[in-house]
Structure 1
Amino acid sequence: MLTGRDGLLAEARTALVRADGAVLLGPPGVGRTALARAVVADLPPRLFAEVWITATEASKEVPFGALGRLLTGGHPALHPALVHSTVLAALAERCGSGRTPVLVVDDAHLLDGPSAGVLLGLVQARAVRALVTARSGVPAPDAVVALWKDAGLSRLLVPPLTEDAVGALARERLAGPVSRSTTELLWQWTGGLPQLAAALIDHGRDVGALVRDTDQWRWRAGLAVPVQVADLLDRELDRVGRSGEDALAALALGGPLPLSVVEEAASPELVADLEQLGMVRSEQSDEQVLVRLRHPMLGAAVRRRMSPARRRRVSAALLANSRRAPSTRGPYAMASALWAVHAGQPVGPQELIRSASLCLYADPAASEQLARRAWERGGGARAAIALGSALVEQGRTAEAYEALVAAGRHAEATGDPAAQVTVGVALAGHRAWVGREPRRAYDDLRRLRADAEAAGDLAGRAEAAAVAVLVQLFGGQAARALAGARDLLEQAPPPGAQLRVTLASVAALVLTGRTEEAVRVGRAVVEAVERAGSSALPYARGMAGAALALAELWRQPTPTGPVTDPAAGRWPLPPDPLVSGLSHTAWPVFDGYAQRVSGDRAGAISRLRDAVAQQAGGEGLFRSEASGWLAVTLAEDGRPDEAETVLREHPVDEVALVPGLGPWARAAVAVASGRRARAGELMDEAIVVAHASGCWLVELGYLIYAAHLDPVAGPARYADRIAEAIGHVDAERLVTAGRAVIALAGRNPTVMLEHAHRLMDMNMTGEALKVADEVGRRAGTADSARLAVDLRTRLRAAVPGDPARVAGLTVREAQIAGFAARGLSDREIAEQLVLSVRTVQTHLGRAYRKLAVTSRRELSDALRLAA
């Protein structure tokens, strides 16, 4: 559990050897005792001898209670004036002559006053070297505080582990690589407390919650409270009393809550006390203060010991408050139906269905519970669809199909044609996303659309048409999907269908090369769903943001990517507070692809492995993209065997947003295996598929890739077709890469270098390196050769391996963090890199989180320590 503590270990040891000692301060579970043991373990035994004293709640009630083992005469009978000399004599006897006594006092905040006074006297007299541990955030005897304020002991704060340190701890205990998403979960669940993290890792391995998947350890279960730490957390909870535990119960059931809500369950003074104890933390969010538990494992401990009566009482209070001041989104909207169920209060089927949809990805088991209750209470087809979605998310696809079939029979028996169409559309979606048969699903939807039109069911017709557009889009037919979307939008469909086809049109516009229009439409739809508030599901709002990010990916060097819940990760979400108490993380499937585009292969591989595992479950709309992009990146990294394994275990199938993805992935494997001729054939196949689908942006990407397969003849062979594709594509980053290939065909080193520099400015390090390498081979003068070497050196310094990247930062995050560490303001950085201030702030915020710092002052040290 000393992973990530090297610096503290060295500081504490130096303080003991060269000065009078140190005080280690930190929250419970942070590993103060383990750190103290490691410090004294390496002291030379011929020079130092340690004596341990542990203070407890029981010893605190007795004068000199903590010093009992050093008071040979028995402390009740000993005069206080003699205690100091008696302790000195006992230490001399235990340590022997010639060795310096090291007095280790564990949990010094629990010392009784007289014992603390003796300790302070020993330190002030320099009779001992002292190593003291104490809990932060709780009162301690004045004499203990005086140890660092007056007596000169070094005050060393023992912080929680960083995310990277938790990952290192997990790798050490599991003896293998750990997925990035699992590291994020372990870190957030435990608050970076090594005692909790180690216990959770061991528990997960023992019960099978941690499994080896896609060559990494991955967490595949809900959060649990290991037996090893249950007592520790229970002791903390025992200290807060009934009112305090009610406040904690509200947070455990409702996620982060407004301060006013928590203060209704407990007085403002008690909330302040809970924050001082380190059990809750507050943060400013928009125009209100949100309060959340210190870490989600504490919430799990609260729920574990929560009686049915307390759950009912607290849920009723939360529900009453939400009805008095309803929130348009966030924890209230997601949890209100669950609160009603816990409180035993009536709740209508429509509210149950909505809540089931809201918690579908975050808690599919709860979603199933709510949807079943809605079905039993007459929720009809919509309830059955919600139930089917929850079952699919849990991998119970056969049950989901049966639930939809049963709903169809019910609609037929009751003579409800609209419900029959609704269920039919859901069954077609099941065939497309679960059965992976988009073509047959599209035929089903065409029949349903015709049936609905014949019956005069305009809403059903629009619903079938909207899903048909999505099926075409994810069947690799972006141009046709775009035409269908525009046709439907001209008919003013209902809001739900309108939102879906508009989102589909944004993605289709990107794939067909019209990114400027895609950005314009994407921004409009994001603004629309934000205005819609509670009427727009978070998954629709999240997908709107993801569609806009996709449009901006090929236009901006560092687009702001979508975020997700680290516990699920399959779907993008808006940045509302999560009811789980976790913080958002980057959406792996997008983040991995964006890092691949920027040249960060290591980062891309890590994120795309997560994406493959996440998309393997549920509907997995982006399953093909995750596995195809991972295989390509692994192959480019010289790992064709791993790439082939990915394609074999997670094949690219018919549900793929990107046409020609399968041949491209196989071509990348062929290149890495030395079969360039076969790779060329496969790339030509991918180009034909992309062209037939009307996806000019995808075709241009494939043409660029194919041209680089043969650096000598390839650029000239594909230059004309690249020029034609550029005429249909306005994505600046990709167009720049295409023009660089045309420059390679021209064989002018000066022009080639200019394009390499443009690619570097566009944060496309991999493409820039390809061009720079060619310049080096073709340089006609000493100057151009020197410039090529200089450029390649700078480019290779930007790829994974530098200190900041080892700490988990992307190329752009490392670049911005470096500028910030040198004192540049956000605006100065933005001007230097030709970015918006908002983009700089976004990347700097991510760098802060990854490096576990909160200010520019700490950045320099954090980057230095990462080296």
Structure 2
Amino acid sequence: MDGPVAQREWPLVARQEELGLLTEAVAAGAATPSASEPVAPAGAIIFAEAGVGKTRLMREAVAMAADRGHPTAWTTATRSSAMTPFSALVPVVPEARLDGHDAALSLHRAFAEAVAARYGSRRLVLAVDDAQLLDNGSAGLLLSLVLSQTVTLLATVRLGEPVDDAVTILWKDGLCRRLDLPPFAPAEIGDLVRRALGGDMAQRDIERLVRVSAGNALFTRELVLAAIDTGSLREVDGIWRWDGRVPLTPRLVDVVSQRLEGLTAEQRTALGLVAIGDPLPLPVAEKVTDVIRLAGLEGAGLLRIEEQTVATPSGAIGPTVTPAMLRLGHPLYGEILLGQLGAVETRRLMRTVADAVESQPSLTADDAMRIASWRLEAGGDVTAEALLAAAATADRRFDNALAERLARGSLERGGGPPAAIAVARAANGQNRFDAAEAVLADVEDAVLATDDWSASGMDLRRAYLAARSTALFHGLSRPDEALAMLDRMAARHRDKPTLHHVAGYRTRVLIDGGRLQEAVELADEVLDDPDVDDTSVLLCASTKSQALIDLGLTRSAAPLHERLNALGAEYVPGLGQAGIIAALQSLQCQYYDGRATELISQLQMYDDMLAATGDEGQRGLVWMSLGLAQLLRGTPVSARRTLRSAVATLSAWDFAGNRAWALAMLAQAEALSGDVVSARRARQASREIDVTGRIVRYDPDFVTADALIAVADGHLTRAAEIAAAGAAVVGEPHVNRARLLHLALRLGAAPAEIAGQLVDVAAVTECDLPTLYHAHAAGLASGDGVALESLVDEFESRGMWLVAAEVAAQASAAHARAAVRAGAARTAARSRSLAMRCEGARTPALTLENDSTAAALSRREREVAHLAATGLTNLEIAQQLSLSVRTVESHLYQSFAKLGISHREDLSGVLGVGPAASPENQ
């Protein structure tokens, strides 16, 4: 394995404060003048749990001491070395004679003299790893060396293990500092892994890695190396992604198994029982294995007890305590141990745990789910009904893989259409839309034949419609087949609830296809019916609201959001998402008002809330929305990281072409960051995803990606043409037309022409951005520096920093043309200040308007000069821009004169543009 991942030492992260303390301790030891003066603390002892990086920290401190001229030595105590007196310290001075001494004092003096002879006059920095394993003689000798100021000691001790008294004296008596090293926080593990990989890693995979490694840096390293070796961790679309498998490679097994050494067969069985049930109620664990055995495992740190309390009920005294839960000391112990026990023994233990949990006086839905899962995997007797109920619980926990396994077990046992629908829901949640459609098509006749007018019958049809419309339309992009399926349901069942529900799904097909007015009219037919049921209200109100937002009628959507919030507040199963939909749509309204600051803050809050739910699909959508908001703000580096995580997550939970949309936004972030190669790669990946018949409101971001890539390539005229052409065909979503027209303006399109088109859009919309965009175009068209400067405040107050910086640069140019020097200087400085917030984003307005030399060039001169600066020949430039070579030469001649340069090589420095990437690297 090559690269930074395979380095023997991973980067040191989040330990700078502790490293500083160790450095101070080494310096204090070196500064002690002589043995006649009071002994100063000479070094430090690091106490920490296994695997949290104490050895790595000490290595860094020793390396720094060596760099500063201190002699250094390293030794590691082991269980085997403890069997022989002084063997841990012999490697420090191999030539020292440790025999023939009749007293410890004589031996200690002789060893100290040997140290001085070997390492010179400067005090030796001695590192002792795993000092808790030192034999009594070595510990005493070490204490003597510190007391005599022969060495500055750095040592590590594993927390919770017995230590020789001599080592304890070192820190208790102030001879050495004691440094307690805490485990890594999740964010620190993420930073460690990203730096070790030399690239970004999807946020959901970082969080999953943290859970599996429990913040243990050693286990994290070995897990990452094992996952790379087996291909379960690999780089895709510019980001490292992990499929969640824990590969039991020999190296990982060896590292983790060190903690399992010495266990008896009975202890392994007990640990295996807890591993299967983790978390396992303590009373249940005590039924299936010996209590003393469990206590021993707890004492060894292989098990831990997690007390659980709930809030005090009204009128009760003290909190209500639920049974304590028994958990593994580390998640990887279970992975390794069950692998060692083998499949047959594991299945036997599963049946044992299932019987014990089932014997409890009361069972929760989670208990029933786990029992059904254990019995299914162990080949036990379990009913179709129990498996279907368990699948529903797994679905609520967003565990799609488990839900599908349980639902298929139910289907195989005669679960019928309900089981088939459960299978399809779970398959949809894993992007396996073909599998969902296949199982639903098989039960269509049975569902259509259901004449049950009870609530359960209606729920069956609703669930079927939801799952199959998702598979056919959003998943497989077959709108015609989806509409035909809806027609068949409406033809067979003419009751109002079914017809309303069918209409609700039809509105979704219409709105996603860009037929917004039709969607609004059909939704109104349902919503105006006094007999409409709540589920149909949810479907139609949410789609009508989305249609209004896409039309730019954001204020008109507000009453529908109130109606959705009221539905969500009823806490009725199936309606809980109403409030979430209303909240997300309200955020879209903020986006079309340009409220980037509030939008980012709220989306980050939603992400924190979702992190604990396990709903990866919703998190992917939130990350995608957050990335879009960060692009609105003009921070491409932040957007790139967010969108990479969204792309990775949506590879497993992708509905309606969202992954293609996220890739297009990622291409924008890469292009704005100046990485045109990565931008092209992301855009190409988005093209390879079939989005035929999917959501047309995504189109502006595909167009924007193409335009920004053209800008990064130096094709400014083409970039503006791409944006303007996209605006001309966008259709009903008026807000999308406004976005693309404004992009064309920012890329150099004629301001007067753009202003004329934007005024029409602003007249038919209720949100703020079309009006602001029109004011921007009008100010540029009139060259009004004062009007442009007032717009800077508008954009900055909303958090649209990049646009504000561009407008300030344009205001500066307008003031300069009007000979208003103070205004030109003021707005130029403001543009630079705003641009500094934008993480290096480069756009034509910033690059050219904010540079007094480049501003003198015409747009075509700028374009030709930019391409020449990247290293293209005149012929290559002529071919790309469809010009003659003579015209290119003329533009360059004029540009050289205006820029005050004489050579082509000077263009790069003046324009801030480097040579283009070679084709083989693209």
TM-score computed with the length of structure 1 as normaliser? 0.75
Give the direction of change, closer, same or farther, for the CA distance of 1:540–1:371 in structure 2 (3 Å limit). farther
Does 2:424 correspond to 1:388?
A: yes
More displaced stretch, 240-249 vs 722-731 = 240-249
1:147 counterpart residue number? 170
Structure 2 SS opposite 1:436:
coil
- Equivalent position of 1:698 in the other structure: 736
Corresponding residue of 2:128: 105
Contact 1:424–1:448 (CA under 8 A) maintained in structure 2: no
CA distance in 1: counterparts of 2:237 and 2:162, whole angstroms: 48
Please name the residue that 1:196 is paired with: 219
Give 1:466's aligned amino acid: G
Matched, 1:751 2:787: yes
Instruction: From 1, 7, 12, give the equivalent of 1:4.
Output: 12
Residue aligning to 2:507: 469
Choose from 490, 512, 516 the match for 2:551. Answer: 512
Bigger drift between 51-60 and 400-409 goes to 51-60
Aligned counterpart, 2:809: 773
> Does the CA contact (< 8 Å) of 1:554 and 1:731 recur in 2?
yes
TM superposition shift of 1:437: 2.8
Relative distance call for 1:192 and 1:281 in structure 2 (3 A) is: farther
- Equivalent residues of 1:561, 1:590 under 8 A apart: no
- State whether structure 2 residue 237 is matched by structure 1 residue 214: yes
Asked if the contact 1:473/1:481 (under 8 Å) is kept, the reply is: yes
Question: Which residue of structure 1 aligns with residue 919 of structure 2?
Answer: none
The structure that has the greater radius of gyration is 2
Higher relative contact order (CA closer than 8 Å, sequence separation 6+): 1
Alpha-carbon distance in structure 2 between the residues aligned to 1:147 and 1:709: 69
Quote how far apart the aligned CAs of 1:774 are: 0.7
Question: 5+ unaligned residues in a row in structure 2: which ranges?
Answer: 1-8, 30-41, 312-319, 842-922
* The 10-residue stretch of structure 1 (306-315 or 118-127) with the greater mean CA deviation from structure 2: 306-315
- Specify the alignment match of 1:666 in structure 2: 706
Q: Does 1:707 align with 2:726?
A: no
- Return the offset for 1:61: 8.1
1:654 aligns with 2:678: no
CA distance in 1 between counterparts of 2:295 and 2:614 reads 21
SS state of the match for residue 150, structure 2? coil
Range moving further from structure 2, 442-451 or 733-742: 733-742
Distance 1:41 1:527, change over 3 A: farther
Question: Do residues 133 (structure 1) and 156 (structure 2) align?
Answer: yes
**What is the CA–CA distance in structure 2 between the aligned matches of 1:700 and 1:305, rounded to whole Å?**
62
Determine whether 1:798 maps to 2:837: yes
Question: Which residue in the other structure is 1:432 paired with?
Answer: 473
Q: 2: CA distance between counterparts of 1:543 and 1:336?
A: 34
State yes or no: 1:596 paired with 2:631. yes
Alignment partner, residue 39 of structure 1:
61
**1: CA distance, partners of 2:375 / 2:589:** 41
CA–CA distance in structure 2, aligned partners of residues 526 and 90 of structure 1? 80
Quote the Cα distance in structure 2 between the aligned partners of 1:775 and 1:259. Answer: 71
Checking the alignment, whether the CA contact within 8 Å between 1:737 and 1:767 is kept in structure 2 is: no
Q: 2:822 aligns with which of 764, 772, 783?
A: 783
**How far is the alpha carbon of 1:764 from its aligned partner?**
1.1
**For 1:577 and 1:243, how far apart are their aligned partners in 2?**
34
Q: 1:56 touches 1:110 (CA, 8 Å); kept in 2?
A: yes
Give per-residue Cα distances to partners, 1:214-258, cap 9 Å, x unaligned.
Answer: 133322343445432334434445699989997997687567x99
Distance 1:339 1:526 in 2: 39
Cross-structure match for 1:16: 26
| Stretch moving more, 69-78 or 35-44 | 69-78
TM superposition shift of 1:132 = 0.4
Letter in 2 for 1:475: G
2:401 aligned residue? 365
Query: Larger deviation: 245-254 or 555-564?
Result: 245-254
Matched, 1:407 2:407: no
1:530 offset after TM fit, Å?
Answer: 6.5
Question: Does the C-alpha gap of structure 1 residues 490 and 378 become closer, same or farther in structure 2, counting only changes over 3 Å?
Answer: farther
Corresponding residue of 1:719: 755
3-state SS of 1:658 partner: helix
**Higher mean Cα deviation, 770-779 or 23-32?**
23-32
Shift of 1:476: 3.2
- The equivalent residue for 1:605 is 640
> How many equivalent residue pairs?
782
Structure 1 position 173, deviation (Å): 5.3
Of residues 546-555 and 68-77 in structure 1, the stretch that sits farther from structure 2 once superposed is 68-77
**What is the CA-CA distance between 1:259 and the residue it aligns to?**
11
Partner of 2:112: 88
User: CA, structure 1 residues 500+688, in 2 after alignment: closer, same or farther (shift >3 Å)?
Assistant: same
Conserved? CA contact 1:281–1:294, under 8 Å = no
Residue 752 of structure 1: CA displacement?
2.0
CA distance 1:230–1:357, shift in 2 (3 Å): same
Distance 1:279 1:83, change over 3 A: farther
User: 3-state SS of the aligned residue for 2:665?
Assistant: helix
Distance 1:265 1:793, change over 3 A: farther
Partners of 1:538 and 1:785 lie apart in 2 by 54
User: Quick check: 595-604 or 1-10, which moved more?
Assistant: 1-10
* Residue range with higher mean Cα deviation, 128-137 or 342-351: 342-351
Residue 487 of structure 2 is matched in structure 1 by 447
Instruction: Provide the residue aligned with 1:324 in structure 2.
Output: 362
8 Å Cα contact 2:350/2:375 also seen in 1: no
Tell me, which stretches of 5 or more residues in structure 1 are unaligned? 567-571, 803-867
Measure the CA separation in 1 of the matches of 2:540 and 2:194.
44
Match in the other structure for 1:683: 723
Q: Deviations over 1:267-321 (max 9, x none)?
A: 9999999699697797999959998878754564466467334444445566667
What does residue 26 of structure 1 align with? Answer: 48
SS at match of 2:491: helix
- 1:805-833 Cα offsets, whole Å, 9 max, x none, are xxxxxxxxxxxxxxxxxxxxxxxxxxxxx
| Sequence identity (%) | 24
Distance 1:634-1:91 versus aligned 2 partners, 3 A rule: closer
Aligned CA distance change for structure 1 residues 583 and 739 (closer, same or farther; 3 Å): closer
Distance in 1 (CA, whole Å) between partners of 2:363 and 2:586 is: 32
- State yes or no: 1:558 paired with 2:598: yes
Q: Using a 3 Å threshold, how does the CA distance of structure 1 residues 286 and 653 change in structure 2: closer, same or farther?
A: farther
Q: 1:632–1:669: 8 Å Cα contact kept in structure 2?
A: yes
How many Å apart are 1:703 and its aligned residue?
3.0
Match for 2:143 among 101, 107, 120?
120
1:737 offset after TM fit, Å?
Answer: 5.2
Deviation at 1:665, TM superposition (A): 3.9
Partner of 1:829: none
Deviations 1:98-144 (A, max 9, x none): 35333322122344566545433432332311010122455645554
3-state SS of the aligned residue for 1:718? Answer: helix
**Alignment-mate amino acid for residue 658 of structure 1:** R
CA distance 1:586–1:388, change in 2 (3 Å) = closer
Contact 1:27 1:278 in 2 (8 A): no
Worse overlay, 783-792 or 495-504 = 495-504
Given that 2:552 and 2:735 are in contact with CA atoms closer than 8 Å, whether structure 1 keeps it comes out as yes
Matched-pair contact (CA < 8 Å) for 1:138–1:276: no
Aligned with 1:211: secondary structure? strand
Question: Following the alignment from structure 2 to structure 1, what is the Cα–Cα distance between the partners of residues 532 and 100?
Answer: 86
Deviation at 1:204, TM superposition (A): 1.9
